[in-house]
Amino acid sequence: MTTFDDKLVSVLGKKSADALESGLGLTTVGELLRHYPRRYDERGKLTEIKGLELGEHATVQARVKSVRHRRMKSRNGELLEAVITDGSSDLHLVFFGRGSRAVERELLPGREAMFAGKVGMFNGKLQLAHPDYQVLDAASDDAAAKFAGAFIPVYPAAQGIQSWHVSNCVEQVLAVWEGVDEDPLPERLRESQDLIGLEKAIRFVHRPESWAEITLAQQRLKWDEALAVQLALAQRRKSATARPAPACPPKPGMVRDAFDARLPFELTKGQQEVGGAIARDLSGEHPMNRLLQGEVGSGKAQPLDALVLTPEGFVPMGEIEEGAEVIAADGTTTTVTGVFPQGEREVYRVVLSDGKSVECDLDHLWQLHTGEVKTLRELRDDLYDLDGTPKWRLPMVVAPDVDCVELAPVKERHELLQGLLTTGGRCDGVDVVFRTESENLAEYVSELAESLGGTGSIAFGYELHEVTVRLPEEFPPFRDALDRTAPPVRRVEAVEFVGVKPVQCISIAHPSRLYVTDHFIVTHNTMVALRAMLQVVDAGRQAAMLAPTEVLAAQHARSLSELLGDLGQAGELGAAEHATRVTLLTGSMNTAQRKKALLEIMTGEAGIVVGTHALIQDKVEFHDLGLVVVDEQHRFGVEQRAALSGRASGSTPHVLVMTATPIPRTVAMTVYGDLEVSALRELPAGRSPISTSVVPVAQKPSWLDRAWQRIHEEVRKGHQVYVVCPRIGDGESEEDTPPKKDDSADRRPPLAVVDVAQKLSEGPLHGLRIDILHGRMPPDEKDAVMRAFASGEVQVLVATTVVEVGVNVPNATVMVIMDADRFGVSQLHQLRGRVGRGSAPGLCLLVTEMPDGTSTMERLRAVESTLDGFELAQLDLELRREGDILGAAQSGKRSGLKMLSLLRDEDVIAQARIVATEVVDADPDLVAHPGLAGLVAGLLDEERAEYLEKA
C-alpha cells in the first residue's frame, strides 16, 4: 500500500526520485502529491508570454514562428535562433552546438510545443537559452501522446526537471496510491463548508476532466492550507496567554494623566478606541501582542498654495520647511518641527458664514469654538441642524501684530477701524455694516476686523460693497450711533469639492499644536505616540521603542522629549512631579555616551528607552521592561523582536508593533496572525507629491542622457539629487565577474555605488560635487556625508538604500534609481519619498533595461502610475509570490502555501481563522483532532515551528 509517507525512490526509482529531490526538494509521495499544478493549459490554447518574469523558470505552450541558423560572432560554432509566439507576443529561443540541427528538424514553423527554461534577456528581448521542449502535435511521438487530454497541468519546475517530467511522476504515483485512511478535516466541517474529500481533491487537481473538478479540488486544498496556518497561529496565541506578563493598569494622577491634561484637543475616535484596547491589554497579566497599522498621531493636510502665517506675513504651505517660524493661535512665534507631504489628495473648500473659505482635505482637523476637535469629514457628514441652520461654529483667532495689515499695535488698529466705521458705517441689528465704493477699502476693513479676532464679511456689489463687522466682547464698543458689539460668529456653511491637489501638513513645537492659516483659521496638528508607554512607566516599569535606523531613533527620542516637556526631565531641575526620562541608545555612540545610557537603562532611571538594533545586544540590561514598541515592523525580523522581548526578567513584556505601511487584511490574518490587529483609518497614508517616470534604456537610450541633463538643470536651480544603486561595489566579488559573452542570456551584475559614482563624475555629471553613501561606511563618515548633502556642499549623492528611511533633505528634488527592476514595489515607493519634501516638485526616475511587455516592466509602470500606498502594497504582495508566511525572513523563500492566495482568498482565510480559534480553545494541543494535528505538522517544518515559538 502506497501512502503519503512513502519515499519516492521506492515508487519511481532512483533517477526520477533524485531529480525531484535535487530540483524541487520533494522526497515523499505526500510532498509530490501536494506539489500542485501552477496552472492548466488547454490543448491548442497558447500560453500568454507577456506575463513572464525575468529570471523565473517558465513553462509555456506556444507556436513556432520562425527558425534560422547562423554563425556565432564572438567564437567558433553555430547556433539556432527560433521565435515562438502566443499570437500577440513573441519569445526568442537560442540553441547552441551541433545538437541544434536536430532541434531544427523538430521545431518546424507552425508546430506547437511546450517549452521550459530560465527566462533571460539578450539585446533587450526576453529569451530562453537552450530550453527543454516537448512537441505537442507530433502524433507519432509517444511522449507527446501523454498530452492528448483536454487539460495539460503545468507544474512548478526547475533546472533539470521540467513540468512534463513532474507530470509523468505524478501519473506513476497516482496509479499506485491508495488514498487516505481518514480525511484530516472532520466530516462536520466538510459538510458545513461544502468541501469534497481529500483523496478526490488530489486526484481532481492533478488529472481534471473539467474546470468544475479543478474548482472543487482547489476549494478543498485551499481550506487545508488556510486551516493549518490558522491552527498554528491560534495555538501560538493560546500559548502566549499562558505566559505571565507585567500587569500595568492605569494609575490616576501620574504622568499619563498629566500628559493627557495638557493636550489641547480631544483624541480622534480611532485613537480613543485603539488606546482603550491597548490600555486594557496592558492591564492584564497576559502579554499583549498587538499590531497597530497606520501612523500613530495625525497630521492634517492643506494644499501647497494655502497660506500659513509667519512673522514675515503669509507664506504658502509648500514653502514651509522644518525649523521655520510660524504664528501660533495665541499670537506667539513657534517653530515647525516637521513637514509631512501627503501626495495628491482630494481637496474640499470650507465655506464660512463671513464669506471666507479655506481649502483642505477631509482628514483635516478643525477645532470648534467649544474646544472639541473634529475632522472635516465629520463636519461635512453632519453639517446642519434639523432646521437647516449650520451646525458647527469655529473659534475666532486674535492675530498677532504682524505686517498682514501693515499696522502693529492692537489699540491703533481698533482706533482706525472705529474711525472708518463712524464715517462709513451704520447699525444693522446686532451687526455694524460698512459701505464703500472701493473694493480695496472693503477688503482693508475686513482685514482689520479679522486681525482683532472678529469677522469682516464682504458682500461685493456692482457699485457698492458692504462689510459686516463684528468684534469680540473684550473690545470697547464703537462710538456714537455704532455703540454696539456682538460675539463674532464664524459658522461652516458648506463643504464643496474642489479637485485633486498636492497637499502637506506641518507639526509645530507650541503645546497647543494650533497655528494660523489664511483668513485666521486655526489648523490643528497632533503627534501623539506615547500614551501606552506612559501607562507602563506609571506602573513602575520601562518601555522600549525599537526603530530601524539611527536617524529615526534620534527623531523619536527628540519628539518624545518635546511632547513630554518637563514630564520627561526626571532628575533635572524644574522637572514635573512623577516625571520620567527618555534615553537614546544607538550603535554609533561614543564610549562615555553609551555607558551613561546603559546605566540609566539598568537602574530604571530611563522610563522610556529609544534605540536601534543596539537595544538587542547582550550588554543591555533593563531594570524592569514592561512594553516593547517596534516601529516600522516590516523592517525587523521575528528574531529581533523576540530578542528584545527576552530582555524582561521573570516575565514576558507586552509588545506593540507599528507600521505606517498599508497591510492587506489577509496578510494581517496570516503574517501577523499571532497579533491582534488595530488600525487608525482616519489618518493620512499618502506619500510625497512627486512625479515618477520609467526610463527604459534598452528601447530609448537617449532618455538616460536626458535624465543626466535634468540633473544639471536641477543643480543649477540650487537643488540636489539622489542616485540610488542596488549594490555597494567596494571589493565585492561580483565586480570580478567577466563581461557576458555575445550570445549569453545571463544578466550583468547589478550596478554598484562605487562604479556609478566614478563613471558619473568622469562622464555625464562631470563638474558636479558628487559623494557616496552606503551602509558599510563608518558612522562618522556617514554623518559627515549626510551633513554635507543636507547643507548643499554635496550636489549629487550616489547611495544604496541606506537613504530609504529617515533621511530628510527638503532641497533634494530628483531621485534616479538605477536598475529599478531589482527593487521591490514597496521599496521603490519608500525610496521616492525622499524627494519632493520641500517647496519644489519632486521627480523620481526608474532606470531599467527591462523590455516592455514583461511583468517586471508592468510592476515599474504601476509605481509610475500611482502614489497610493495601499494599492502598491497589494501589488507587491502579488508580485512577491507571497513569500513564506511562516518563515523567519517572511519573504524570498518558497512559499509554505501552494494553493492558498493571500491576495484572493480572504473569505477562506477569515472563515478558517474562526474555525481554528474555536477548535484550539476547546482542544489546545489538538489531541482530539489527530487529522488536524497532522495538517499543522505537514505545514510546519522545523524552521517554521521554531519561528512560531520565537514569535
pLDDT digits (tens, 9 = 90+) for 48-101: 787 777 777 777 888 899 988 887 766 677 788 899 988 888 889 888 876 777
* Whether residue 949 has pLDDT greater than 60: no
Going by pLDDT thresholds of 50, 70 and 90, the confidence category of residue 860 is confident
**pLDDT confidence of 873, banded at 50, 70, 90?**
low
Label residue 872 by pLDDT band (50, 70, 90): low
The dihedral of CA 277, 283, 288, 292: what is its sign?
positive
What local confidence, expressed as pLDDT, does residue 948 receive? 42
Query: Residues 676-693: what's their mean pLDDT?
Result: 53
Range of lowest pLDDT (345-354, 420-429, 884-893): 884-893
Beta-sheet pairing, 654-659 with 289-293:
parallel
Whether the full predicted model's pTM is greater than 0.85, yes or no, is no
pLDDT score at 883: 42
- Residue 144: predicted pLDDT: 44
Average pLDDT over the chain reads 77
The string of pLDDT tens digits covering residues 382-395 is 888 888 888 898 87
pLDDT at 309: 84
Neighbour-count burial of 124, counting CB atoms closer than 10 A to its CB (0-12 exposed, 13-18 middle, 19+ buried)? middle
Is 136 or 634 the better-scoring residue by pLDDT? 136
Q: What is the pLDDT of residues 94-137, one digit of tens each?
A: 888 767 777 888 888 888 888 888 888 777 778 888 888 888 76
Q: Write the pLDDT tens digit of every residue in 551-560.
A: 667 767 876 7
- The three-class DSSP label of residue 816 is strand
Considering only CA atoms, which of 26, 36, 180 is closest in space to residue 931?
180
Residue 949 to residue 951: CA distance in whole angstroms = 6
Task: Out of 16-30, 263-277, 459-473, 557-571, pick the least confident.
Answer: 263-277
pLDDT at residue 147, rounded to an integer: 46
Rounded CA separation 296/290 (Å): 14
> Poorest-confidence range of 199-203, 605-609, 931-935?
931-935
Mean pLDDT across 488-506: 83
pLDDT at site 300? 53
- The pLDDT, as a whole number, for residue 688 is 41
Cα distance between residue 487 and residue 470, in whole Å? 7
Res 778 pLDDT > 50:
yes
Distance between CA atoms of residues 324 and 336, nearest Å = 5
d(CA 373, CA 524): 8
Least confident of 426-430, 446-450, 734-738, 765-769: 734-738
Indicate whether 817 pLDDT > 90. yes
Amino acid at site 896: G
Higher pLDDT, 8 or 413: 8
- For residue 143, the surrounding DSSP H or E stretch is helix 142-145
The pLDDT assigned to 877 comes to 55
Query: Which of residues 586 and 841 earns the better pLDDT score?
Result: 586
What's the CA gap between 803 and 945, in Å, rounded? 35
pLDDT at residue 487 in the model:
66
- Asked if 872 contacts 826 with a C-beta cutoff of 8 angstroms, the reply is yes
φ, ψ (nearest 5 deg) of residue 363: -90, 0
Residue 261 reports pLDDT greater than 90: no
From residue 762, alpha-carbon distances to 510, 767, 793 in Å are: 49, 8, 19
Averaged pLDDT for residues 179-189: 87
Residue 217: band (very low, low, confident or very high) from pLDDT cuts 50, 70, 90? very high
Task: Give per-residue pLDDT as tens, 438-482.
Answer: 888 888 888 888 777 788 888 887 778 888 888 876 676 665 545
pLDDT-based confidence at 738, cuts 50/70/90? very low
Give the range among 390-399, 567-576, 904-913 with minimum mean pLDDT: 390-399
Nearest 10 degrees: CA dihedral of 520, 521, 527, 528? Answer: 120
Name, of 657-671, 688-702, 752-766, the range with top average pLDDT: 752-766
Question: Which has more confidence, 203 or 888?
Answer: 203
The mean pLDDT value for 567-596 works out to: 86
What is the rounded average pLDDT of the residues 874-888?
A: 49
pLDDT digits (tens, 9 = 90+) for 390-421: 889 887 766 555 444 554 567 777 878 888 88
Confidence of residue 206 (pLDDT cuts 50, 70, 90): very high
Q: Return the axis-axis angle of helices 439-451 and 410-424, rounded to nearest 10°.
A: 140
